[in-house]
Amino acid sequence: MERMEPDYRIGKVLFSGGEIGGRVKTLADQIVSEVSGRDLLVVGILNGAVIFLSDLVRRMPAELNIKMDFMSISSYGNATTSSGAVRILKDVNSDIEGRDVLIVEDIIDTGLTLSYLLNIMYTRKPASLRTCVLLDKREKRKVAAKVDYCGFVIPDVFVVGYGLDYGGKWRHLPDICAVEC
């Protein structure tokens, strides 16, 4: 007998594209004020953070010397909850030793992925290591993980849009929406 997948659909808009744009500008301004005059390596976590990272760095001035790199880390697969097993699928190409590094992530919930990532990155001896997350689902936190810059705190709902997906769907949406079953 074939197992039926739940019928998930896009629900309530939690944050509109306009709200997101305003918050991203504020985050960019905060980051620039703290790293002004230094080179910055921005590390985006694929795939979910690509749109957020792109908008964030485009709101930073040209005088700020920014380089970008990417990592891919898996803890969800095609599920709506984290498996708890964190794997690096693609590592950064850059040597981060002695560099100011900003990790850009789409969402933090349990904290397992970000905590795992920070532990790895600290062993590589960056000059500084900051984190910027678009969404913080604090109710789900299992381990502490340092969040320096946070876009929005959200309740315990599964969300899609603005880079976040469910099984590869709905990343392209300009708003962040709850998923309903």
Please identify every residue annotated as catalytic: 109
List, in order, residues 6 or more apart from 16 with CB less than 8 Å away: 174, 175
From CA 93, how far away is CA 105, in angstroms rounded?
18
Judged by DSSP in three states, 71 sits in strand
Give the pair of three-digit tokens for residue 79.
């599920």
For every residue of 152-170, DSSP letters joined together read EE--S--EEBTTB-BTTBS
Nearest 10 degrees: CA dihedral of 72, 76, 82, 83?
A: -100
